[in-house]
A and B are shown apart, each in its own frame.
Chain A
Amino acid sequence: MARRQYRFQVFRFDPEKEEHPYFSSYSLEMDESQTVLGALMEIQDRLDSSLAFRYSCRGAVCGSCGLTVNGSLVLACRTLLSRLPRGIITVEPLPNLEIEKDLVVDMSPFWRAYQEVRPWLHSLDLAPDREYRVSERERSRIDRFVNCILCACCYGACPAVSQHPDYLGPAALAKLYRFVGDTRDRRGYEHLRRADGPQGAWGCHDVFRCTKVCPKEVRPSDGIAALRLRMIASRLRRKA
């Protein structure tokens, strides 16, 4: 693979010390098989150790490094330099979340929304002596939602989140459907009610930006649509 000179402009901001954000420019030679995360590590290691960003697995499974690269919401570790257009590469934090420092955002609203949907299997809490029987077909129905790595790219992309900070957002709702669609889950409507309103499934603007940016093809908007159907069905059932 060829080595080339790359130029980066990276968003910098320490809200405790600085009044305004700014961009730092870096120029470095990188192998084009390297990733944007690799370049950030290189900058931190060789040029400026104070540059802050989140990372862990470097293999697109841990969900740490969701960032805005040239205006697109991506995992930095999965974004190969060879696949970016020539010219300056701009790296910014995820939108819709407060900046902690540089590229590190405060994820607490995202985790609060996650907690809000009570994201655990609601089942009988018995000491099991065998597994529940589940068919591959049943399992595969929730497979996409299970694959969510909670990187918050969808949360950053969501126009409803930017307008209504109380809105749970695509990842939390997709997570809720991961359980509602699980044949082992026994949650009743009272556990759906919190999501059955403008803060939940009905707050989605149906513009599918979550589905477009998701690096794992979770398609949160499908989960939201499926939740709405469940909610209507259980309302009808309760009226009948």
Chain B
Amino acid sequence: MHDILGHDVIIAGGGLAGLRAAVGLAGKCDVAVVSRVHPVRSHSVAAQGGINAPLGNHPEGKDDSAERHAFDTVKGSDYLADQPAVELMCQEAAPVVYELEHWGVPFSRFPNGTIAQRPFGAGSFPRTCFAADRTGHVILHTLFEQATRRGVRIYEDCQILRLVSSEGRICGLAVFHLPSGKVVGISARATLLATGGYGRIYERSTNALINTGGGIALAYRAGAPIEDLEFVQFHPTSLYGTNILITEGARGEGGYLINRMGERFMAHYAPDSMELAPRDIVARAIQTEINEGRGFADGYVLLDLRHLGADRIKNRLPGIREICMDFAGLDPVEAAIPIQPAQHYSMGGLQVDQDCRSPVPGLYAAGECACVSVHGANRLGGNSLLETIVFGKVAASTLSADLERLPPPDEGPLREAVLELEKELEALQRPRSDGIPYATIRDSLRETMTEKVGIFRNRDGLEEAVYLIEAMKDRLKKVALPGTSSSRRFNQGLLNAYELGLMLDLAEIIAKGALRREESRGSHFRTDYPKRDDSRWLAHSIATWTPEGPSFSSWPVAITKYPPKERTY
């Protein structure tokens, strides 16, 4: 690899949003994708339940429409989503699903041959299109096939270390190229971040091990405003023990949530929607059952699918069955699944407009790392895949239009950044006698986030979390690598130590943002402020980097058609 590479557009991240954007740009400009793993290893592959689109294929979904989908999304967001962006996403839903189908996505089918749809949480109609319970897998593979067809250039095994600025705009990325162990600069007229979420700053997360949130933190350090990061989605059903995702589709197919008394406890929390209430409500219900002693010993409840019968489980939920057999040694045809809530998704991210532009010239974002905002305070199941595809596509058209006013940047600052980072990594790798292993700090961060910045939050816990995170930032100055090797090639430990600082930055924004927001809305629940407070907090939070830590301000929510109302399910 050369020390400096150049492209018109560099896309960071090879998951659904990144690949969809790359496919849209291929042939129009010189585009390349940079990713820490091969694109098909991206976390999008783990999405199970489906992608929402009001196709009206389900016999009960004939009256579905983009408007109903938009309303459900806005209500699900606890009215924090920006409504014009939601409308755009829902208008585009059916066309992008048909496009994916024509590119080869093998969706499950209804008897008349149309794409099958199942009910999902908080949807007024069954509108979640699926391929059994491997929807993320099939869409990611299909998009990689389309990228292959178009000859998209991919740099795999490259982890981003810095977003580099020059004359007030982002002029490219400095990345660590694992196979050579070198820092490489990629100069670009425009940079699209599609780096996904940060689940691994939590102890319990459904996310892949690579989801450390580096992209969001690097953008924050480069001056990009970060929006609504205190809104962290906890998925109600992760497999007890490993926290591997058990899809909402399992409840969409008719699964029950059962406490230790054998009771379908959702009747107490969401009598109309039961197990298909929105995720924030179901996750809090499960955690309440556990906290009040109605869960099982170590902190779980049961997801019971047995009444669905072996055929339905094998046809519609084969991946879930495989996960249960591989990782919990049980077959859901015969036994209920032990589940507990776990961190799952970030509603917040880089502030972008509905064309995926961030306020920083040359910087764009799409997918989970971005905050458009279409999910507000709580995302509906099936809307994240939709967001990646719609806004990946939108990003491609925005970028091709914007390129003409983004001339090739000066490579000087990029070269300097590469040299600086080489030295920084060298210093990090130097053995030290008073060193603290990175895993020690990382593990206490994860524990702090799950315990104090989790499903239920309060002032005392959040203040303690902020204090602990600041102390960890201090300890980070002594971070060290276990072992003695001086080799840089594929030195993943070195990268783990490097990205720990980024994880701490994100944790700080989340904890301070959660402390600042004195209300409960969607996924953000303050036991000391249990009500939504539209008079003070019907606003996005914006965090910007300062040397003293994040500085917060508010940003208005775009409300057009749907005035805020109380949420009942």
Binding site for B on A (CB under 8 A): 14, 16-17, 33, 41, 44-52, 54-64, 78, 80, 100-102, 104, 107, 111, 114-115, 118-121, 123, 125-136, 139, 142-143, 146-147, 149-150, 179, 182, 184-185
Question: Do B98 and A60 have beta carbons less than 8 Å apart?
Answer: no
Chain B 489-524 interface 0/1 with A at a Cβ cutoff of 8 Å (1 = within): 111111011000000000000000000000000000
Question: Chain B residues with Cβ under 8 A from A57's Cβ?
Answer: 41, 43, 45-46, 208-209
Question: Do A56 and B37 have beta carbons less than 8 Å apart?
Answer: yes
Per the bound structure, the CA–CA distance linking A86 and B103 in Å amounts to 48
Q: In the complex, what residue of chain B is closest to A82 when comparing beta carbons?
A: B329
A131-B40 contact, Cβ under 8 Å, with A58-B209, A120-B149: no
Question: Chain A residues with Cβ under 8 A from B141's Cβ?
Answer: 146, 150
**B168 at the A interface (CB under 8 A):** no
Q: What's the least CB distance linking A97 to chain B, in Å? A: 14
Per the bound structure, the CA–CA distance linking A21 and B132 in Å amounts to 43
Question: Do B245 and A46 have beta carbons less than 8 Å apart?
Answer: no
Q: Which of B46, B113, B134 contacts A62 (CB 8 A)?
A: B46
Q: Which of B46, B115, B137, B322 contacts A131 (CB 8 A)?
A: B115
Question: Chain B residues with Cβ under 8 A from A121's Cβ?
Answer: 102-104, 142, 145
Question: Do B37 and A64 have beta carbons less than 8 Å apart?
Answer: yes
Question: Do B114 and A59 have beta carbons less than 8 Å apart?
Answer: no
The listed residue with most A CB atoms (<10 A of its CB), out of B42, B489, B491, is B489
Per the bound structure, the CA–CA distance linking A78 and B104 in Å amounts to 29
Question: Do A48 and B485 have beta carbons less than 8 Å apart?
Answer: yes
Chain B 136-147 interface 0/1 with A at a Cβ cutoff of 8 Å (1 = within): 011001100110
Question: Do B323 and A47 have beta carbons less than 8 Å apart?
Answer: no
Beta-carbon contacts under 8 Å, B209-242 to A = 209-210, 241-242
**B27 at the A interface (CB under 8 A):** no
Q: Which of B148, B322, B326, B494 contacts A49 (CB 8 A)?
A: B494
Per the bound structure, the CA–CA distance linking A121 and B241 in Å amounts to 39
Question: Chain B residues with Cβ under 8 A from A59's Cβ?
Answer: 46, 208, 242, 244-245, 323, 327
Per the bound structure, the CA–CA distance linking A59 and B241 in Å amounts to 12
Q: In the complex, what residue of chain B is closest to A216 when comparing beta carbons?
A: B322
Q: What's the least CB distance linking A217 to chain B, in Å? A: 9
Q: Which of A51, A119, A131 contacts B148 (CB 8 A)?
A: A119
Question: Chain A residues with Cβ under 8 A from B46's Cβ?
Answer: 57, 59, 61-62
Per the bound structure, the CA–CA distance linking A146 and B134 in Å amounts to 10
Question: Chain B residues with Cβ under 8 A from A48's Cβ?
Answer: 482-483, 485, 493
Q: In the complex, what residue of chain B is closest to A62 when comparing beta carbons?
A: B41
Question: Do B326 and A139 have beta carbons less than 8 Å apart?
Answer: no
Binding site for A on B (CB under 8 A): 37-38, 40-43, 45-46, 97-99, 101-104, 106-109, 111-115, 131-132, 134, 137-138, 141-142, 145-146, 148-149, 179, 208-210, 241-242, 244-245, 319, 322-323, 326-327, 437-439, 481-485, 487, 489-494, 496-497
Q: In the complex, what residue of chain A is closest to B148 when comparing beta carbons?
A: A115
Question: Chain B residues with Cβ under 8 A from A60's Cβ?
Answer: 322-323, 326
Q: What's the least CB distance linking A119 to chain B, in Å? A: 5
Per the bound structure, the CA–CA distance linking A80 and B323 in Å amounts to 13
Question: Do A143 and B109 have beta carbons less than 8 Å apart?
Answer: no
Per the bound structure, the CA–CA distance linking A121 and B144 in Å amounts to 12
Q: What's the least CB distance linking B25 to chain A, in Å? A: 17
Q: What's the least CB distance linking B477 to chain A, in Å? A: 18
Question: Do B209 and A41 have beta carbons less than 8 Å apart?
Answer: yes
Q: What are 18 pairs between A and B in contact, CB < 8 Å?
A: A45-B482, A46-B439, A48-B485, A52-B491, A59-B208, A60-B323, A62-B42, A63-B41, A64-B38, A100-B489, A120-B148, A121-B102, A131-B107, A134-B113, A135-B113, A143-B106, A184-B102, A184-B104
Question: Chain B residues with Cβ under 8 A from A123's Cβ?
Answer: 102, 104
Q: What's the least CB distance linking A91 to chain B, in Å? A: 16
Question: Chain B residues with Cβ under 8 A from A136's Cβ?
Answer: 108-109, 111
Q: Which of A47, A50, A134, A142 contacts B491 (CB 8 A)?
A: A50
Q: What's the least CB distance linking A129 to chain B, in Å? A: 7
Per the bound structure, the CA–CA distance linking A185 and B106 in Å amounts to 12
